[in-house]
Every structure is written in C-alpha cells, then in structure tokens.
Chains A and B, each alone.
Chain A
Amino acid sequence: METLYLIFIDPFVQMVVEPAFLVEVLIGGLTSGVMYSLVALGFVLIFKASGIFNFAQGIFVLFAALNFVGLMDLGVHPILAFIITIGIMTALAFAVDRLVLRPLVNQDPIILFMATIGIAFFLEGFGETLWGGDVRPVRVGIPDAALFWQLGFGEILVQSADLFAGVIAAFLVTVLALFFHFTPVGRALRAVADDHQAALSVGIPLNNIWVIVWAVAGFVALAAGIMWGAKLGVQFALSTIALKALPVLILGGFTSIPGAIIGGLIVGAGEKLFENYWGVPLLEGATEDWFAYIVAMIFLFFRPQGLFGEKIIERV
C-alpha cells in the first residue's frame, strides 16, 4: 500500500503542491531534451538521405566541438574558428563518403551501421590525439546567468544559457526546414530520401548529395557541440550522453525531423520528471542512465516506426 501510494499518488501531489519546482524540473528536462534533439537531428538527416544509421553522430558532435574549442584556444577568433570547423566537418564528410561508404555500397544496413561504429572509434581517438582529453570550457559569449522569473505561483530559477540553447535550436530547425523546402539542394535531398533510383534518373548526382548530407549533419553536430560544450564543457562524456539520441529517434521515428525534435523534448522532460519524482524517492536515483532506453524499448513493442515515422512495410 505504502509503495503504491508512493508510486501513484505522492508524485502527483508533490507536483501540485510545489508547481515552481515542477516547472524548474520541466525546464531543465526540456533544455537537455533540446540537446538530444540536435544530435538526433543529425541522425535523421543522414538516415533520410542515405538509409545509413550513423552511430558516429554523437562523436561528430564531440569532434566538432573539440576542433572549435581547440582552434579558439590557439587564439583564433570564434567566427573564424566556426568557419574553419565547418570546413573540417565538410572534409570529414567527404572522407567518410570516399573511404567508408563508397566501398561499402550495396551492403546490408547492418554492415554500414557497424562501419559507423568504426568511424566513431576512429574519431574519438583522433580527436583526443589532436586536442588532448581534458575538459575544455567553451567561451563564445553565450550569456550565462541565473535568471529568476516571477510566476503566479512562485519564483523559478532559469539559466540564460539554457534559454539561449533553446532559441538556437529553434532557429536551426527553422533554417533546416527552409533549406529543405526552398533550395534546389534541399529539394534534391528530399528527392533522394524518397527514392534513390528515381532521383538518379532525373539527374540528381547521388554522390554529391551524400557528401552534402553528411556535411549538413556535421554542421548540426557543430551547433549541438558548441551549445553542449557551453553548458558542460567539451569532454568525452559527451559521446555517451549523445547515445541518448538513439531512444529519441525510436520515439520520434527515424525519418521525421519534427519527430527528432519532439522525441528529444519528450525524452529530456520525461527522464528529469521520472528522476525527480520517482527515481530519487523510490529507486535511489541515477535512473536517467536507462529511463530513455527502457521507454524506447517499450515503445518498440507498440509502435516500432515511432511517433512520426513512416510505417515500416516489408516486401519479399
């Protein structure tokens, strides 16, 4: 009885009694959710265009951030560092396409997936060799102050950096949406995503498209990396946090950009709520490690294509 009360009634009572805390938890969850979304966005871009599940996207985030911070530490102006890093990520996209994807063309998706695990390991070692394994703070002038908001039911604490991250994410999604809908390259990308062969037959150069997609994913990774770095410092723990983008994708669907964003927000908010209201009082905490995965796994039973994904149809 006691346990049932703690599971089903007490958390909700707490939420109603202390709405300010609830809002704080929610905001904290949503901001980390934005980060998951950004990583997941990179996954979706690549998956849509080439059907490759890029396990290395998390490392891309880290690698981009490492390059950016490393260049800034060398005294390069942030904007210049940003541009150089975009260049590096494009070069990386090109290298991945030529050295890994091209030779593996027409292989099973699972083989390509394992190849991206190889890319992930290579980049992790490469990034550390280049820039060392220390935690590096990012200082790009993102305002970092604690704001106190006065709401009807009490005062809540908000980090301005979190708000900033949210704005950037929204901006990025808008830009990508515009890019996909109103530019020739974007249209070509969507065409390739729909049907490779049809796209080829109307003269879309598939090879370049793949490089472009990987470069765009690299750009998204850079944006995610900078914001993540501003919050936590650029460190190798980022790559394990980035693994959380996988359950986000399952929730949102592998082929849907809005799905990636909404999935990320759901996972971020859900795991914070669960941790604070159920995890800490009942399960001794640290439930954030697995909550997202278990939710994703349960989700897989009922809706394997995710919230917004295309229905999986198999043909012999």
Chain B
Amino acid sequence: MLYREAGQFKTSYSADQAMLTIPLDRWFVFALAAFATVGVPLLASEYLMVSILIPVLILSIAALGLNILTGYCGQLSLGTGAFMAAGAYLAYKIATNITWLPIWVVIPLAGLCAAAIGIAFGLPSLRIKGFYLAVATLAAQFFLLWLFVKVPWFVNNSISGVPPAPPRSVFGFQVTGAAAGNEAKYLFVLAFVIALAWIARNMARSRIGRSWMAIRDMDIAAELVGIRPLPTKLSAFAVSSFYCGVAGALWAMCYINTVEPTAFDINRSFQVLFMVIVGGLGSVLGSFLGAAFIFLLPIFLNSAPGWIGYSVASDTITHIEFMLFGVLIIFFLIVEPHGLARLWQIAKEKLRLWPFPY
C-alpha cells in the first residue's frame, strides 16, 4: 500500500483491540462505507444499482453466512438455497400477518426462524462430518423447498403460489416491493450488509470465532482443549442460517420482488458455495469479492462478445459459463485455496515493498 505500519504505535488496549488497527485502513473503510452510502446513490445509474449492486450485496450476505459455516467452522453445506428460501418465505409470512411490525424487524426475525431451521438440520453434524454432512444439508435443500411449494400456508394461500413482496416503508420511504425507489432499496440492503459484515468480522476474531476455527482445524483436538463441539457447531449453523435467511428475505423483498421457489433451488446453493471458494474460505472480505466475481462473470461473458463485435448464442454462453466456473473452482483450490482475499493480501504486501522485491 501507499503507507507503512512502521511508526504507527498503539498506546492503549482499546487501540490494540480495534478491528482495524492502522488509522489509514480505518479511514479507508470509513470512506468506502460513506461513499457507498452517499456517493453511490447519487452517481450510480439505475441499471448498475438495481441489476448489479443490490444482488451482489445480498449475495455477499449469503456468502458471509456460508463462509461462517464452511470457511470458519469447516462444515460443508449444500443447503444454502434452502435456508435463504426459509428466510424469504417466513419474512413474507411475518410481514403480511403482523402488519404493524416494521420491516427492519421482520427481516432479522425471518433470519432467526431460518436459524432455528438451520439448527435442526445441523444436528447430524455432531456425529458426522465432511461429505456426510453435505448429504444432510442436501436433505434440507430438497425437503424445505418442497415444503414451501406444497404448503400454501406460507404464501397465505395465494393462488399463483408466487406472491408479490408486500410494500413496506422505513422512515416513510418504501423499501420493499416493485414500487420501491431504487435508492431506498439500495440503502436498506446496504444497512444490513454493513451491520452483518461488522458483526461477522467481530465474531470471527472473538471467542466464538476462535472456537469455530479450532473445530475446523481438528475437532478432536479442539474437544480435548475444552471446546464443546455440539454448541460450537450448532452455533455456526445458527449464525450461518441467520445470515442466509436475511439474505433470502432481502432477495425476495428487495431484488426479485416476489417470493418464488425457483430463486432458491440447488443452483443457488452451488453459486454461493462457489462465491465462498473463489472469494476465500474463512475471510469476510473474500465473501464480498467472491460474490461480486461470481455474479459479474456471467454478465461479463454475456456482454463481452458484443463489445468486440461478435455474437454468440446465449446457450453457448451458458455452457461456457459452466465450464469456466468448474475450471475456476479447481484453479483456485489448487493455486490459491484462500481465494481472491489472499490474492488481495499478497498484492498489498508486494505494494508495500514496491519497488523493491523484499
């Protein structure tokens, strides 16, 4: 970077415990948050905001959730889509039945419901691990989606089964549903993203995060040093499902504006898993980078041939996309298992010494 840590001393315990210990880092993050809050709504075009920023931000929350479970606690989950669906359907149910409840309470509540479901499906994790657990989470994926499609109670007996998101407001601005303003939606999502990322970052470096990582690195050893596996694993499932549930609720309320099962099928689970792998297992920053990368890659592939005056059939693009995803996953697992986040770190370290090699 353009600055060095040298000479930046910490003089108090609170400075030592700060999330970002270097003042320049801190200012950079504050500036970024401020820009995202003030600058982006003023500058960004409607397309950029609605079709790119909002979905990327929401998927980052889901990726954060899966990263907590897979990256920090080492429990592989293929049921992310189902937990997102749980958040979406329950947010709809709560919002339409308890109409006086403000929407910014509804969405975390839906996340809590998703967390409860996550705990139920996480129970087998005590006895099994690795791909055994992957199958248990696949059970969640198929069973929950079937449940939400087949039980009309979740959508208030809507005839189509795909009800529109109920319009709700915060501070007088409508933030959910099709009629909501783009800026309002964006800021609403952004508020959740900032809060959840901050919480995740702090959890990762506190007692609970350390116990997750101990379980991930070697569960028996962790047990021997006094970390109880059941509460630790289940808390990872709960927190992860909470994040996924919030992401699903926002996805339904603020992005696609309907509550529909196809948005949360198994492909969504894989998409989020890829975000986590490409972004970096066990990294908060990686969740954001991965979400942006995996979401933008297909868009780039779709429009890139057009820029060089060459047209490709859209199904060919889809096939190439599949191949690229596959290759990228393998590439990242082999070359850089810690993903884009690690690449960013390496780049920072190189820049710090630049122009000298060491």
Known: A117-B273, A121-B323, A316-B221. A100 touches B128 (CB 8 A): no
Chain A residue, CB-CB nearest to B70: A110
On chain B, the residues within 8 Å of A55 by CB distance are: 131
Query: How far apart are A279's CB and chain B's nearest CB, in angstroms?
Result: 10
Query: Which of B53-61, B85-93, B325-333, B345-353 is the contact stretch?
Result: B325-333
Contact A293 B131 (CB under 8 A): no
Q: Is the CB of A121 within 8 A of B76?
A: no
Once the chains bind, are A125 and B319 in contact (CB under 8 Å)? Answer: yes
Whether A122 and B221, one on each chain, are in contact in the complex, defined by CB atoms closer than 8 angstroms, is no
A246-B138 contact given A118-B329, A122-B326, A283-B150, CB 8 Å threshold? yes
How far is the CB of B146 from the nearest CB of chain A, in Å?
Answer: 5
Q: Closest 7 A-B residue pairs measured CB to CB?
A: A122-B326, A125-B322, A118-B329, A293-B139, A121-B326, A125-B323, A290-B142
* Chain A proximity of B229: nearest CB distance (Å): 12
Interface residues of A in 123-178 (CB under 8 A from B): 123-126, 128-129, 133
- Contact, CB under 8 Å: B220 / A293: no
* Residues on B with beta carbons closer than 8 Å to the beta carbon of A104: 333-334
Q: Chain A contact residues (Cβ within 8 angstroms of B): what range?
A: 35 or more
| Residue picked from A119, A240, A300, most chain B C-beta under 10 Å | A300
Q: Which residues of A contact B327 (CB under 8 A)?
A: 118, 122
A53-B131 in contact given A117-B270, A129-B323 (Cβ < 8 Å): yes
Say whether A314 faces chain B, with CB atoms less than 8 Å apart: yes
Question: Is the beta-carbon distance between B329 and A117 smaller than 8 angstroms?
Answer: yes
User: With A115-B329, A286-B146 in contact, do A300 and B323 touch (Cβ < 8 Å)?
Assistant: no
- Chain B interface: which size bin? 35 or more
Chain A positions within 8 Å of B, measured between CB atoms, are 53, 55, 99-100, 103-104, 107, 109-111, 113-115, 117-126, 128-129, 133, 240, 243, 246-247, 249-250, 283-284, 286-287, 289-290, 293-294, 296-297, 300-301, 304, 314, 316
Residues of B within 8 A of A300 (CB): 124, 127-128, 132, 135-136
A286-B146, A297-B135 given; A114·B124 CB < 8 A: no
Residues of B within 8 A of A249 (CB): 135
Closest beta carbon of chain A to B18's beta carbon, Å? 33
| Residue ID in chain A nearest B266 by CB atoms | A240
Complex CA gap A179/B142 in Å reads: 37
Residue of A nearest to B126 (CB): A301
Interface assignment of B337: CB less than 8 Å from any CB of chain A = yes
Q: Are B127 and A301 in contact (CB under 8 A)?
A: yes
The interface residues of chain B lying within 8 Å CB-to-CB of A128 are 315, 318-319, 322
Q: What residue in chain A is nearest B316 (Cβ atoms)?
A: A129
A286's nearest neighbour on chain B, judged by CB, is B146
Nearest chain B CB to A195's CB is how many angstroms away? 20
